[in-house]
Structure 1
Amino acid sequence: MTTDNILPAKIDTLIVGGGQAGLAVSGHLGRRGVPHLILERHRIAERWRSERWDSLVANGPAWHDRFPDLAFDGIDPDSFAAKDRIVEYFETYAKQIAAPIRCGVEVKAVRRKADGSGFLAETSAGIIEATNLVAATGPFQRPIIPAVVPAETGILQIHSNAYRNPGQLPEGAVLVVGAGSSGGQIADELQRAGRRVYLSIGPHDRPPRAYRGKDFCWWLGALGLWDAKAREPGMEHVTISVSGAYGGHTVDFRRLAARGMTLLGRAGTYKDGALHFAPDLARNIAQGDANYLSVLDAADAYVAKNGLDFPEEPDARRTEPDPPCVTDPILRLRLREAGIGSIIWATGFALDFSWLKAGTFDAKGVPQHERGVSAVPGLYFLGLSWLSRRASAFIWGVWHDAAYVADHVAARQEGGTERACS
């Protein structure tokens, strides 16, 4: 690894992005003897460093959220690694595989060569020519903040990627919009810090943290759910609400409400100082319950079918009564009267491939590919959600997608495709 800005004029395979996807494919390409170079505009695993909150931990246990050829050192495999340990993990992995990475080099634009034989990458350190290009910039590229609440309200509005800790926010109540893993965990942290919290909840999956002695990551593997090829129709944008915080626990919105949090439906329009919410809170909670129970049912069937001696857990099916904010939902909230001083938009990210002047993209900017392989010869994508299956955007899942992409790159090289060399 180096931070110098001296680039070769040519390379066989150029990887854009030095996070989990870029490092995974580098490991596989190295084993296959394919010359390659990773360009990272900041530092290895930069989003873990500077675009996540201070107390963040992995949502999967350490035995699961890793590459197969490197375990976390010095922590309980069943614990949830803190973000600093995850950064350290990727740095260690880069050293282990002797990753050819240049940090501090931004890729500004990539275009196909006029003769179609490869790509020209314009970077902050000059032009580099590559036969193959792997876009490994991940799914969390451009934070989405809906243009709903006007800035002139004077209420601080930030995306979840800019939230660090409760002390960073002004005094007053906090509205968190979005109840996926980020929104749910941030709302929980703020409430534990003594803040008055409102949480806007949309459709979501809510799996058990663990059941019958096994973490839900184990169950998703045993039940074949990690290998699901696509979400069910209409479920493409449903988030997963799970947490490794505080030792790991099942997210339960009713319990958050019992502690004083106010739950709301999906955020809608803003008018005359009030934010309106859809009357869908009870339905969204019920949908999360149905997802939760479906995992328990499938797990029980798996135990019975395989004759496993796993401890029974009847309490897992007990549900707290719906709180008043669910049975009598708030549909209109005057933000100032509620004392809200800040809004955190945990509303996800959009892809941004504006730098990539090759390949085809749909109306939402999603690249067209088959398991990461583009129709453009030599162009690949890696690290995207549902790239090949449910596991694709996770640390261990991207490893398997990277192997497939690396096989394609190596096959091009072995098949006599024109090759640039460094």
Structure 2
Amino acid sequence: MPVHDLKAPEAARTHRPVVVIGAGQAGMSASWYLCRAGVDHVVLERNERFHAWKNQRWDSFCLVTPNWQCRLPGHPYRGDDPHGFMLKDEIVDYVEAFADSFDAPLREDVTVTRVARRDDGVYEVDTDAGLWSADHVIVASGGYDRPVTPPYAADLDPSIAQLHTRDYARPEDVPPGRCLVVGTGQSGVQLMEDLRIAGRDVALAVGPAPRSPRLYRGRDATDWLFEMGYYDRTIAEQPDPKATEAKTNHYMSGRDGGHEIDLRAFARDGLQLYGSVTGMEGTTIRFAPDLERNLDDADKSYLGIRDMIDAYIAQQGIDAPAAEPFETVWRPEREITEIDARAEGITSILWCIGFRPNYDWLRVGCLDDTGRPVHRRGVCDVAGMYFLGLGWLHTWGSGRFLGVGEDAEHVTDHIIRRLAEPEKRRLKA
């Protein structure tokens, strides 16, 4: 991949006031606001726009949040099923229609290889298609570049196939035999269910992810939480912001109209559950003795959401159906801490434990010691550097269709104000 001379004369580069890196919903939302304000900019995308939605979701993928939460700038959901859950192809149609609603200055198949800041405050954006410069850079490349697998995965017997969420499109992608799904965030539980619906033999390693009600007291739980202002709470208002950022999303499903996922009910019906995976060697897989605790903690989260909704209904005097009684339908008889995968018929591992962003190309001092961006609602202390589309950038909805547009408006407003400042004052900011 070519690297261009960052000291090249101005004539050798293409300058824009703003360069946006990434053409997912975050980057395209920023472009929408910049276009509306008449700000000259370019959006650089290493693949095609909305590549992840088109190529990195499994066939049965659907939204977990209701369609009404799709609120991209100037393009709210206008379909006839606001309380439904769009399937993968419908999501692609939605984001493509949003992109078609304005004329973004988009350059696809352009990979950014380096971003550096000169002493005069101008950013150099090196790409495989030439050198750009900008006064402002919005990083909207998302947080799903590197699939996470633990180091001990390399010690597993190679006869047992290993796949990651990104490798899975349909049950046929998994080799015959029992598949151990690792992780109980939204992806893990949904892929476990996808395999079971297809009649496949599957087991599940249960992590500490929380779970949520789906339909509760006559409405979707997310409807109640939105009305209660829960999604308006900012990261700064959280008791422990770093812990909040690190939390796994509550698991539930939008499949077939939406439903809760109670792993105890799956276990009662024959699904083999284990605790968190702690190690692998040859065909041996080890688990922490935390299955019961993880199930209890998930239920605690579930009941906590119900309690919040109950309190709100009582406080507001809302006439709502009575709450369904809660029942613990299964408990493990013992904690299994080690198995021989071959003896258990396990022929594959499906890792569903998340992703990490890749900022190796970012040569700007805006990351902390762990490689996470340092910002306030996407605005960095390094003048002219911004981030969009990250989970909890500002609120729960920041990395979702619900809140990404509001964050994009905030960031682009900041840029527009800087562009309006006198040149000397702006460069000193």
TM norm structure 2: 0.91
1:155 to 157, 160, 167: 160
**Residue 113 (structure 1) shift:** 2.2
Q: Is 1:377 paired with 2:383? A: yes
Q: Is 1:237 paired with 2:237? A: no
**Residue 22 (structure 1) shift:** 0.4
1:350 to 345, 351, 356: 356
- Contact conserved, 2:212 with 2:301, CA < 8 A, in 1? yes
**1:274-319, CA deviations, whole angstroms, 9 ceiling, x for partnerless residues?**
111111111111111111111111111111111212222x32x322
Query: Aligned AA for 1:322?
Result: W
Which residue number in structure 1 is paired with residue 5 of structure 2? none
**1:105-136, CA deviations, whole angstroms, 9 ceiling, x for partnerless residues?**
111111112422x2111112101111100000
**1:339-367, CA deviations, whole angstroms, 9 ceiling, x for partnerless residues?**
11110110111121111111321232101
**Residue 334 (structure 1) shift:** 0.9
Which residue number in structure 1 is paired with residue 140 of structure 2? 136
- Contact conserved, 1:275 with 1:333, CA < 8 A, in 2? yes
Q: Partner of 1:98: helix, strand, or coil?
A: coil
- Contact conserved, 1:64 with 1:217, CA < 8 A, in 2? no
**Residue 15 (structure 1) shift:** 0.3
Aligned ranges for residues 360-375 of structure 1 at < 5 Å?
360-375=366-381
Q: Partner of 1:194: helix, strand, or coil?
A: coil
Query: Aligned AA for 1:386?
Result: W
Q: Partner of 2:405: helix, strand, or coil?
A: helix
Q: Partner of 2:162: helix, strand, or coil?
A: strand
Q: Is 1:322 paired with 2:322? A: no
**Residue 236 (structure 1) shift:** 4.6
Computed over aligned residues only, the root mean square deviation of the Cα atoms, in angstroms, reads: 2.0
**1:224-249, CA deviations, whole angstroms, 9 ceiling, x for partnerless residues?**
32133345545553312121112211
**Residue 73 (structure 1) shift:** 5.0
Which residue number in structure 2 is paired with residue 97 of structure 1? 102
Sequence identity (%): 38
| Counterparts of 1:132 and 1:387, CA distance in 2 | 19
**Residue 70 (structure 1) shift:** 1.6
1:390 to 391, 396, 400: 396
Aligned ranges for residues 230-309 of structure 1 at < 5 Å?
230=235, 232-233=239-240, 234=243, 236-239=245-248, 240-271=250-281, 273-309=283-319
| Counterparts of 2:423 and 2:167, CA distance in 1 | 44
Aligned ranges for residues 138-217 of structure 1 at < 5 Å?
138-149=142-153, 150=155, 152-217=157-222
- Contact conserved, 2:29 with 2:73, CA < 8 A, in 1? no
Distance verdict in 2 for CA 1:257–1:48, change over 3 Å: same
Q: Is 1:224 paired with 2:229? A: yes
Q: Is 1:47 paired with 2:57? A: no
**Residue 51 (structure 1) shift:** 1.3
Gap runs ≥5 in structure 2: 1-11
Deviates more, 1:368-377 or 1:148-157: 148-157
- Contact conserved, 2:45 with 2:107, CA < 8 A, in 1? yes
Distance verdict in 2 for CA 1:134–1:417, change over 3 Å: farther
Gap runs ≥5 in structure 1: 1-6
Q: Is 1:331 paired with 2:337? A: yes
- Contact conserved, 1:173 with 1:196, CA < 8 A, in 2? yes
Q: Is 1:81 paired with 2:86? A: yes
Query: Aligned AA for 2:416?
Result: A
**Residue 223 (structure 1) shift:** 2.6
Deviates more, 1:396-405 or 1:356-365: 356-365
Q: Is 1:56 paired with 2:61? A: yes
**Residue 384 (structure 1) shift:** 0.8
**1:360-415, CA deviations, whole angstroms, 9 ceiling, x for partnerless residues?**
21232101111111111110011111111222111121111111101110010011
- Contact conserved, 2:152 with 2:281, CA < 8 A, in 1? no
Distance verdict in 2 for CA 1:390–1:71, change over 3 Å: closer
- Contact conserved, 1:266 with 1:280, CA < 8 A, in 2? yes
- Contact conserved, 1:203 with 1:238, CA < 8 A, in 2? no
Query: Aligned AA for 2:390?
Result: L
- Contact conserved, 2:157 with 2:283, CA < 8 A, in 1? no
Which residue number in structure 2 is paired with residue 3 of structure 1? none
Deviates more, 1:327-336 or 1:278-287: 327-336
Q: Partner of 1:157: helix, strand, or coil?
A: strand
- Contact conserved, 2:206 with 2:275, CA < 8 A, in 1? yes
Query: Aligned AA for 1:135?
Result: V
